[in-house]
Amino acid sequence: MRRSISPLSLILLGAGVFLLVLTQLLAWYVEPRAKRTPTDTVSTTVFEGRGSYFDTGSVSTVDDQTITITRRVLGDVAAGERSGNAIWDVSTQIDTPKTLPLADPRKSLQWTTERWVTDRRTNLPVHCCEEKPGFEGEAYLKFPFDVEKRTYAWWDSSLGATVPLAFDKVTRIDGHEGYRFVGAVEATATGTRLVPGVLVGSKKPGQVLAEEWYSNARIELTVDPRTGRIMNALIAPTKTLRAPGSKKDAVTLLSSERLEFTEATRREQVKLASEDSGRLELLGETAPLAGGIAGGLLVAAGAVLLMRGRRQPQHSEE
């Protein structure tokens, strides 16, 4: 008697082994490499709210005005590929109803440019590649991948230092689940500015080095847990001037109790977070699980057919 080998059993075994190997590659090789901060980022996020600002035309603080913060991020792909890091050039402008229609950001209430360099895997700062200014922390324009329910050190450019943001709760933004982190900044001196002494109530004639102070009553960031993308952001900043050595604010440069992502920005960030999170979930969980189950079943079926191969009688030659 001899055992015949069914071609189908070999096909099933081969397909099953292939799927099992493929799922391991997806889970242990492809998916971890997909968790990389992109180098080709191009994005615009907009905050909007009501508040006060110092109007240089009237030389006074005007209240209950619309304040708009526009942040544009452009990845330096060539430099990123050379260094292996994520290199983003960031432009942030604060506008009032007077400056918002103007095309020139230099005419904004405030305009700053930065160059941020981070490790694509860990999101930690990398001090190279013409970084400007130097910064620290672990969360900036985004959080690391696989966000945890803990306190993160978030870099506040206005403060020039990190701020602890504590995990608050699990919430939903436009139906997408996120982790909300909250924090605040107590009034802190951040620098000096040469202004007429009379502006800050100084008795000294001429100009004085007024102290710049900054605080933020509430920082609230809602983050996609898988990708670290910020889906919604809310801040309540205040910037003031004080006479040298004074403990009281003399001039309010900017103040708002609530500046938040616009609805359009929020929708776009949730859409991108959902797409990126879905891809990572497919590579890291769905495909490996489904492929593992299917591969195991195919291997089992192929083995059963192989074991049940029919024994056929051997015919002797006459």
| Helix H or strand E segment including 300 | helix 287-307
Is residue 5 situated within a structural domain? no
Q: Taking a C-beta distance cutoff of 8 angstroms, is the pair 35, 280 a contact?
A: yes
Angle at 17 between CA 15 and CA 20, to 5 degrees: 110
Is residue 227 situated within a structural domain? yes
Rounded CA separation 144/219 (Å): 18
Is residue 74 situated within a structural domain? yes
Q: Taking a C-beta distance cutoff of 8 angstroms, is the pair 303, 2 a contact?
A: no
Is residue 22 situated within a structural domain? no
Question: Which residues of the chain carry a pLDDT beneath 70?
Answer: 1-34, 281-318
Is residue 158 situated within a structural domain? yes
Is residue 130 situated within a structural domain? yes
DSSP annotation of 268 reads H
Residue 54, phi then psi, degrees to nearest 5? -85, 120
Q: What is the pLDDT of residues 54-76, one digit of tens each?
A: 998 888 999 999 999 999 999 99
Is residue 275 situated within a structural domain? no
Say what the pLDDT of residue 24 is.
55
Say what the pLDDT of residue 31 is.
42
Half-sphere exposure of 98 (CA within 13 A, CB side): 11
- In residues, how long is the chain? 318
- Token pair, residue 167, equals 């995990």
The answer to whether the Cα torsion of 101, 106, 110, 111 is positive or negative is positive
Residue 226 belongs to what domain range? 35-261
Cβ-proximal residues to 187 (8 Å cutoff; 6+ apart), any chain:
213, 214, 215, 238
Please state the domain count of the chain. 1
Is residue 166 situated within a structural domain? yes
Nearest to 231 by CA among 153, 280, 172, 150: 172
Say what the pLDDT of residue 2 is.
53
Say what the pLDDT of residue 288 is.
53
